[in-house]
Structures are given as structure tokens and as C-alpha cells.
Structure 1
Amino acid sequence: MTSTQERRPSRLETRSIDYVPLNERHGKIWHLGPLWFMSNAQIATLAVGLISITGGGDLFWSVVAIVVGVLVGTLFMAFHSAQGPQLGLPQMIQSRPQFGYIGALLVWLFAYIQYAGFNIFNSVLAADSMSTTAHGNAKVWIVVVTVLAFVLALVGYDLIHRAEQFLTYAMIVVFGLFTIALFLLHYPAGTFDVGTFHPTPFFAQFGVVAGYQISWAIYVSDYSRYMHPDVTVRKTFYWTYWGSAIGGAWMMIAGSVLVAWVGAQRFEHTGDNAIAQIDHAGNRIFDGFGAVVLILSALGLVSVMALNMYGGSLTLISAVDSFRRVTPTLLIRAVMITLTAVLSVIGALAASANFLNDFTEFLDLILYLFIPWTAVNLVDFYVVRRGHYAIAEIFNPRGMYGRWGWRGVTAYLIGFAAMLPFMNIETATSDFYTGFISGAMNHVDISFFIGLPVSAFFYWLFSRSIDVAAETRVAQAEATELEQAAEAHVQPEVEKHL
């Protein structure tokens, strides 16, 4: 710790996209484990494990694809987590040094669509869970769960961490018993055999799992930025990585086992759904236990909805700040969280069953959009600038990072273009898009393996001309003023250092 006396923030969080000064840094590194465990340990994640078996794959190879996809995809989101304590900034505002003051709007637009889209899906799923157990109109429950998530997001960072810790302990106990219940079910003969390796469903499952884990990359610094920079990158990485990986793999494998029990064809072509099957399987422990699982699952979804409202509000504030400088206050946080919540309710109330089927596939397309971004952002932080940023310049519209970061934008576009021939995007009713190489490979999608290295390489190549030493000198010159301005909750005067 520094000699500066630590000061915890007020009960209602007022900071948003601004830098967190050292005297407000607090929290323990292990808090990241429960937060990212619970963010993944909910029934929306369970649905991610259905892809392979419903596509004709075997349970064994589905589990292998899930484990490998989680281990690979979680690497990237966990590396982003270490940026929070070092920079004291939320995740998406950190895109300005790579993409520019205005250019970062490109990825912020995609990020907000993801926040809104997942919130629509999660609120409908939570409402269905409550309607199944506590009964009542599902549309009323959509409003109820959204209000609960709104309150959690409005109070902010500390309450979100505490809620996720409590839910983690409850989920380990309840879903642990549910997992035992899965082994008490009667499965078709040969369900647990090694079976035959089918590359198309295997890589479809791997890609969705890896993409799902990478999608958390736009959140992670939001929930580590109040921690002191003395926490090591390694510990930040490990607590984030294993919390997310264990929670995600557990739910996805449970989903894969559940659909293997029900039968892929019956699962797809009857009125049965995942919620009904969870209720049925849970009742094998004792009558009513399925309802306990679903109620806890609904609370878990509420916590994830709060993450989406919190992150969505930060993204909206960042976007507004790109056109007119924003002074971070509780009022602007409340306005942006309210707007995000209202959009979520409207979307959820308007959603039909067919819409949700197609929209979850559309979200896969959104995940493609973040593969080049994560490559650019991580290469910049760990390889090019190595964590040395002039933070005040990130908020300067005429600062040294420029309005358009041609290096980041160009590397992003090249990486995304390189992915196109390898993509395979299918909806519930049709093939939305199949690249010519993917088509020649029987619809195997390996775009993940293309976009990451291509974007990373070109950004590194373009960034060799950056004078990191000069940028570091600017950062050092602004450091004292940055701390003083942040403590006073005002914008630092940065122009004099240019």
C-alpha cells in the first residue's frame, strides 16, 4: 500500500469511466474468483454446452471440445483482468490508445449490442425460471428481475462483488447436488462411450465455447480497477482464469449431459426446454429441489444482468464522452443504467421464442467481432506499451493517442477480413453465412485460430513506430496531477504537457 490513506468509495458508486485514485483502491485479489465463477455459473452458460450434441456429436467429444474451448478462451479474458489494477480504468475506455478517441466507438458499438443482447436473453430466461417455480405472468417477472438487477448495478462495484460471493457459495452447494442428480438419471446405452470424432460439431462447440469466454473480455477490468496496483499480474490472472473456467466448464458440461439424457432430437422438436428438464432432473434429489435450482439460477441471472447494465452504462458514458466531455457523477451513472435497463425490458417483452432462437445465433456473430479487438488490446498492453499509458491523455480529445488510431483500426479490419473465409454461422432455420474455406471443410469453423494471430501480428507490425519512451515521459509528468484531479473528482488539465 502507499502512504496515502485508503478511502473507500461512498455506498452508491459515483465513479464510472474516470481513473480510480490510489486512495480509493481496496478489495482483495481473491474476490475476483467468486465474481467470475458466478458470472459463468448460471443456466445461460448451460445452454452453450448443447451445440455439439444437437449438431450430431457424441457426449465424450462434446465434453472435450468444451474443456479445450474453456481453457483457450478464458486465457484472453483473464489477461484483460490484470489491466484493471494497473490502469485504474474500466475495460472499454482502454481501447482509445489503440483505436483513437473517436475510433474506439467502433468496438463500443459492438460491446453495447452484446450487453443489450445478453440482457434480453438473460431476463427472459430468469423470468421463465421464476414463472415455472413461483408461477405468475412471465412478462411481470421480466420487469421484476430487471428492477432487481438495476438496483444492484446502481449501487455498483462493491455490492456486485458481495452479491457474487454469496451466490457462489449457494451455487456450489445447490448445483453440486444437482450435478449428483444428473448421475442418478437413466441414460441411453452408449451415452458415455468415446464414440466417433465428428469435426464439424466438435469445432462448432469449441468455437462457441471459446467465443463465449472471450466475450467476457469487455467486462473484466470493470471489476478489478478498484484494486491496488501492487497486486501482481499473475495473481490477478489466476483468480480470474480459474474462477471463470471452473464455473463455465461446469455449467456447459452439465448442459451437454442434460441434452444427452433427454435426447437431441426430442430436445429440439418437442415442447420441452432446458428449464423444464432442469426442474425434472433436480426433483430426482427430492420433490421440489428442481424449483430450488431454478430460483437460485434466476438470482444468478439477475447478477449477470446487473453486470450487463453496469458495463453497458460505462460504454454509453464513454460514447457520449467521445463527442462531449463528461464529468463522471452519480447522476450520469443512474441515467445510463436506467436507459440500459429500459432497453432490456422493451427487448425482452417484445421477444418471441423464435426471436430468441435466432438472436442467440446472432450473438455468435457479435462474438466474432471481439476476436480482433482482444488481440489488438492485449498486444498493445503486454507487448507494445507494456502497461505504460498516459492515462490523462485517454480523456484528452486532442491528446497524443489521436482521434483515429489507424494502427488499431487497420489491424482489426485485416484480422476480421481474414476470418471471413473460415466462418460458419448458422441460425435455427438456415445457414446465415458460410465462408468458402469453411464450406470446403464441411462447415468446420476455425476462424478463431485465424483472426487472433492475424490481428495481433499486424498491430505489432504497425506499432513498431510508436515512441513508447516519449509516451512514458508524458505519463510520468502527468502522474501527480492525475492523482490530485481524480481525488477531487475533476478532469486533469493535460494540454500543457503536449
Structure 2
Amino acid sequence: MARHSTTLAQKIKDSLRAATAVETSGVEPIPEDGRSGGPGSSFTLWFSSNVQFSSLSSGMLATAAFGLGWSQALLAIVLGSAVGAAAIGVMSTFGPRAGVGLLVQSRLPLGRHGAAVPAVLVFFKACAWFAVNSVLGAFAVQTLLGTGFAPAFALVTVAQVAIALVGYGFIHLVQKTMAVVLPLLFIGVSVYGYTESDLGSAFDPAKAGPLGFAGAFALTVAIQAARALSFSSYAADYTRYMPADTPPGRLFAFAFTGTWLGSVWIASLGAAIGTIAFIGTPTDLVDQVLPGALATLTMLALGLSTITSSCLDCYSGALAWLIAGVRMARWQAVLVVGVIGGAIGWAAGQGDYWKSFENFLILLGNWIAPWLAVMLVHRFPTRRDDNPTVPRFGTGFASWLLGLAAAVPFMSQPGVYVGPVAEDHPALGSCAAAVAFATAGLAQYVLTRTRRPAAPAAGDTTHGTHTTKEIPV
């Protein structure tokens, strides 16, 4: 018994040592002898990443801004979260096979230079999310500790950067811990929010305005999907260390379930709170909704959840910066994301972010959706090249641009740009991402069908996928 206890303690100690060791790899392929972990870690990572204030905010928009009743909002949240969770689930399966992230793998269909464009967009997207979450986390810490904005902001940003600096193993360890801690902390506000809110609320035409019911419902679905879609470009970053033979079906199931459960729980809670009050910042939860002790516990939960979510932006944003062609070490790229994201967050400061938040989420879906469509068609092709050489710009880049172009008339970014279709039919203003996805996927399918099929070698069971050796890094 003593020997067994000693062995178990040693295993735990070794696991902790490995998880807290600073990651030395960048964007290069992870060798097979350096792989470890299983699909279960994808559940904890994506569950805890979705238990956060931005999920609460996106759900609150449905009732407080778009006028849906709570049950109507819940249905839209369930549907939108499923779309985003499916994207994260599928994209997670790309990591183990190749041992590199999605942006590296996109060099095959988009070309070496073509893939740099979405890499730059992912970098700036990560900086923007880092900024948003840093401000929200600072509000929570400021309220919790009673400090000024500056020290609270510094505490949150430094914590996020520190986790990302250590790297892959530590991020998974933190998310596993938070997958237990955060539900315990959010139970109180969940019980209070669901019991004190008006769950029987009806649709409010005055809030919906020209959107009408159909437009409000579709916009809620689109925002929920876009929030998770924005994470899907990161998905393979957190599975590339898993063994190549990791079952893709199990990996999809764990990633999908973790994302969907976290998103539906917290977004539906936000929709419930939205029937009571329109919450602009975490501080407003204390001032307008929650009683004293529960408010303190909730601020702790929001502060921790913001840090654990935003460290993903810092880590994956750094990898995107390297993939874009910038020559520096991974830790230096992490600091770049932290500095730029921190500067944006500091400039945004204590302003009202609601309309910007809504536009930001929708805009993300507009360009990420066609990129994901290209990657899916590339992953499951009916034909493929005899020699997968990488041009400067591949067919996938053209397909991606076609998808973006097709979406322009449907785009609805009030104060920035509203396309002719969205202007004449506001209810269709949330369809841009779907149009972009369908157009890019169809274009890539047609273009790849023109390629001459390669005859698989005897015993080759990987036809239609690519190995690490085929992907240029």
C-alpha cells in the first residue's frame, strides 16, 4: 500500500513537473515521441473556456437588446452553440494527425503566402479578444478587491501572459483545474439568475425594431455561432501534442460537448439576467442584480474565467504571428500579443463596449467561416494532387476570397458597413457567415475536382489527409 501511494505521488509530481515546464516548441511539427495526452483534455479546455463573461454577454444580447423571450433565446443559443461547437470539434481532430496547428496546415490549400493572410487576421483577432477579456477581467477584479482600474488591469494581463508563456501543458493543467472550480463558483449566480429572472418573458417588438422576430432569432444564432467559431481557428493548437492515433470521433465528441455545455449554460444564464437588467460590465451585476456575498463570489468566478479564457488568445495569437512569417521565439511572440492586446484594452478602458462587441463577433464569423469551409473540403477531398507542392497562392485562397465577396451584400455592421441585402432585408443581415461558408466550400470543391487523383500506395489508409512531412513549416 505504501509503495502504491509512493508511486502515485511520484506520478502526480512528474505530471505537474511536465505541465509546468516552459514549452520550447514553436510552430514546427511535434515529433511522435513527444506526444502525450488524450481527447478528454479537450473537454475540460473548451468547457472552462466558455464559462466566462463574454458568454454571459452574448446571451444577454438576445433578451436585453434583441427582444427575444427567454425560451426563444434559449433555443437560439442551443442552435448557435451547436454550430460553433461542431466547428471546434472538427478542427480539433486536425491536430494529432499532422502535429501542427490549423494555420500551418492551411498552407497546403491556401499556399504559403495565401495562408499568411488569415494568420495575420487570427493574430489581430487574438489581440482584440485579449483586449476585451482583459478589460472585463479588470472590472471584475477591481470590484472584488476594491482597487483602481490600473492595478486590476495589470494583474489580469500579467496572469494571462504568464500562463501563455509557460505554454501548452500548463494551459491544459489550468483549464482542467478551472473545469472543477468555475462550476462551483457559478452555481450561486446561476440559481439566483434563473429563479429571480422572468423565464416566461415574451418577444418584445420594440427592442427588436426592424429585425423583427425572425431577424432577432437569426442574429442570436449567428452571434452564438460566431463566438465559438472565433475559437475554432485555435482548435488544433491544443491537440497537436496528442498521439497521431488519437481517435478522431472521441476527440470530436469531447471538444464538442465541452464547448456546447459551457456555452449553453452561461449564455442562457445571461439571457435570463437580461430579462432583469441590461448589464454593461461585471460591475453592473453587483450594482443592479446580485446581493452582497453572492456578488463577491461571482466577481471571483468572472475574474478567474476571464484569465483562463484569454490565455488561449495570447498563446494561439503568438503562434499565428510566427506562422505569418515573423522570425522570433514563441515567448517573444506571446509578449507581443500581450503588449498589443493590453494597449488596446487600456485604450478602451472603461467605455461601453456592447455595440462594438456585437459587431466584433459578427465580423469574426464573416471571415473565419469561409476559411473553415476551405479547410474542411481540403481535409475530406474526393481527389487530391499527385504531388502536394505548395505554391505562393493556392486554390483555397481564391475560394476563401470568393466566400468573402459573396458575403459582402449580407454583411451588417451598423456604423461600419451595411450591405444592400442586409439594408433592404434586416432579417438577412445575420446570414453573411453562412453565405461565405457555403460559397467558399463549393468553390474549393469545384476547384479540387479538377485535379488529377493520386493513386494511394499499397496499404495506405490516409488517402485524403496529409502527414506531417507533407506540410511545409
Distance in 2, Cα, partners of 1:77 & 1:291: 33
1:424–1:443 CA contact under 8 A, matched in 2: no
TM-score normalised by L of structure 1: 0.82
Matched position secondary structure for 1:403: coil
User: What is the CA distance between 1:357 and its match in structure 2?
Assistant: 3.9
* Secondary structure, counterpart of 1:19 in structure 2: coil
Query: Within the alignment, does 1:450 sit opposite 2:435 as a pair?
Result: yes
Structure 1 residues 135-176: Cα deviation after superposition (integer angstroms, max 9, x where no partner): 111122211111111111111111100100111101112212
For residues 195-344 of structure 1, what are the structure 2 equivalents within 5 Å?
A: 198-262=213-277, 267=278, 273-279=280-286, 283-284=290-291, 287-320=292-325, 332-344=329-341
* DSSP 3-state at the match of 2:300: helix
CA separation of 1:443 and 1:421: change in aligned 2, threshold 3 A: same
Question: What are the superposed Cα offsets for residues 194-215 of structure 1, whole Å, 9 maximum, x if unpaired?
Answer: 8888112111111111111111
Query: Which of 337, 346, 349 does residue 349 from structure 1 map onto?
Result: 346
Residue of structure 1 equivalent to 2:409 = 421
Aligned position for 1:24: 34
Aligned to 1:139: 150
Specify whether residues 472 and 436 from structure 1 end up closer, same or farther in structure 2 by C-alpha distance, changes over 3 A only: farther
> CA separation in 1, counterparts of 2:60 and 2:396?
35
Kindly indicate whether the alpha-carbon contact (under 8 Å) linking 1:13 and 1:157 is maintained by their aligned counterparts in 2. Answer: yes
1:393-416 CA distance string (max 9 Å, x none) = 8xxxxxx111211x1111111111
Q: How does 1:104-183 map to 2 (within 5 A)?
A: 104-183=115-194
1:95 maps to: 106
The offset of 1:438, in angstroms, is 2.3
In the TM superposition, residue 75 of structure 1 has moved relative to its aligned partner by 1.3
Rate the CA distance shift 1:107–1:418 in 2: closer, same or farther, 3 A. same
Alignment size in residue pairs = 442
Is the 8 Å Cα contact of residues 410 and 420 (structure 2) preserved in structure 1? yes
Distance across 2 between alignment mates of 1:106 and 1:493: 17
Larger mean CA deviation between 41-50 and 462-471 belongs to 462-471
Partner of 1:434: 418
| Secondary structure of 1:469's aligned partner | coil
Give the equivalent residue in structure 2 for 1:408.
396
Is the alpha carbon distance of 1:137 and 1:10 closer, same or farther for their aligned partners in structure 2, counting shifts above 3 Å? closer
1:273 Cα deviation from its structure 2 partner: 3.0
Q: What is residue 14 of structure 2 aligned with on the other side?
A: none
Residues 361-384 of structure 1: CA deviation (Å, up to 9, x unaligned): 234323311111010011101235
Q: Using the alignment, how far apart are the partners of 2:386 and 2:187 within structure 1?
A: 44
1:71 is the counterpart of 2:56: no
**Letter in structure 1 aligned against 2:321:** L
Superposed displacement of residue 292, structure 1: 1.5
CA distance in 2, matches of 1:493, 1:260: 50
The Cα offsets for residues 88-113 of structure 1, whole Å up to 9 and x where unpaired, read as: 10221111001111111111121111
Counterparts of 1:302 and 1:493, CA distance in 2? 33
Q: Which residue of 2 aligns with 1:51?
A: 61
- Letter aligned with residue 13 of structure 1: E
Aligned counterparts of 1:358 and 1:176: Cα–Cα separation in 2: 29
Deviations 1:407-426 (Å, cap 9, x if unpaired)?
11111111111112222222
Q: State the match for 2:6 in structure 1.
A: none
In 1, distance between residues paired with 2:282 and 2:250?
Answer: 36
Change (3 A) 1:359 1:389: farther
Cα shift at 1:440? 2.8
Q: 1:343 to 1:384 in 2, by over 3 A?
A: farther
Q: Deviation digits for residues 167-192 of structure 1, max 9, x if unmatched?
A: 110111221232111133164xx844
Extract unaligned runs of 5+ from structure 2. Answer: 1-17, 206-211, 462-466
Corresponding position of 2:369? 371
Q: CA deviation at 1:389?
A: 11
Shift in Å at residue 349 of structure 1?
A: 1.3
Describe the shift of the 1:15–1:35 C-alpha distance in structure 2 as closer, same or farther (beyond 3 A). Answer: same
Q: CA RMSD in A?
A: 3.0
Give, in whole Å, the separation in 1 of the partners of 2:239 and 2:130: 22
Going from structure 1 to structure 2, the CA distance change for 1:450 and 1:103 (only over 3 Å counts) comes to: same
In the alignment, the residues of structure 2 paired with residue 444 and residue 150 of structure 1 have an alpha-carbon distance, to the nearest angstrom, of: 39
1:461 maps to 446
Say if 1:385 and 1:177 are closer, same or farther in 2 by CA, change over 3 A: farther
Q: Distance in 2 between matches of 1:373 and 1:76?
A: 11
Which deviates the most, 48-57 or 213-222?
A: 48-57
How many Å apart are 1:439 and its aligned residue?
Answer: 2.6
Q: TM-score, normalised by structure 2?
A: 0.86
DSSP-derived class of the 2:196 partner: coil
In 2, the alpha carbon distance for the partners of 1:98 and 1:110 equals 17
Change (3 A) 1:417 1:202: same
Q: Counterpart amino acid of 2:305?
A: G
Identity %: 22
Structure 1 stretches of 5 or more lacking a match?
1-7, 394-399, 477-481, 487-491
Mapped to 1, the partners of 2:471 and 2:368 lie a distance apart of: 33
Q: Which amino acid aligns with 2:221?
A: F
CA distance in 2, matches of 1:12, 1:256: 40
Report the equivalent of 1:35. Answer: 45
Kindly indicate whether the alpha-carbon contact (under 8 Å) linking 2:105 and 2:471 is maintained by their aligned counterparts in 1.
no
8 A contact 1:24–1:226 mirrored in 2: yes
For 1:320, what is the secondary structure of its paired residue?
A: coil
Distance 1:186 1:148, change over 3 A: closer
